[in-house]
Structure 1
Amino acid sequence: MKIAEVGNVIEFRDGLRGIVEKVNENSVIVDVTYMENYRDLELEQKTVVNHKNYQIIE
């Protein structure tokens, strides 16, 4: 399993995408405002994703 780095774009939970802002021991903090439809989805600006639950896109 490859761990994301700050600035990577990741995909998680049914196609949501975001930019990694901070890498923790077991998770990353992701800025989901990267997605154009982020406001339509009524999500918080940032979320925490476990390393096991994402794929690195860019």
Structure 2
Amino acid sequence: MKIAEVGNIIEFKDGLQGIVEKVNENSVIVDLTFMENFDELELEEKTVVNHKRYTIIHGNDEN
């Protein structure tokens, strides 16, 4: 399992996407305002996602 880093874009829970703002031991804190339809979804701006519950869809370049 690859753990996300700050700045990565992850996808979780039926297609929700967000930018990782903080990495904790068992989870990440994600900014959901990244999504174009954020206003329509009526969600909180940030959420916590367990490392087992997301996939990284865009990571930082390792060069």
Bin of the TM-score, shorter chain as denominator length:
over 0.9
Normalising by structure 1, we get a TM-score of: 0.99
The CA distance in 2 between the partners of 1:26 and 1:53, in whole Å, is 11
What amino acid is aligned across from residue 8 of structure 2 in structure 1?
A: N
User: Which runs of at least 4 in structure 1 moved beyond 3 Å after TM superposition?
Assistant: none
**Greater gyration radius:** 2
| TM-fit CA distance, 1:38 | 0.5
Q: What is the 5 A alignment of 1:13-24?
A: 13-24=13-24
| TM-fit CA distance, 1:19 | 0.1
The CA distance in 1 between the partners of 2:32 and 2:42, in whole Å, is 11
Aligned CA RMSD, in angstroms, stands at: 0.2
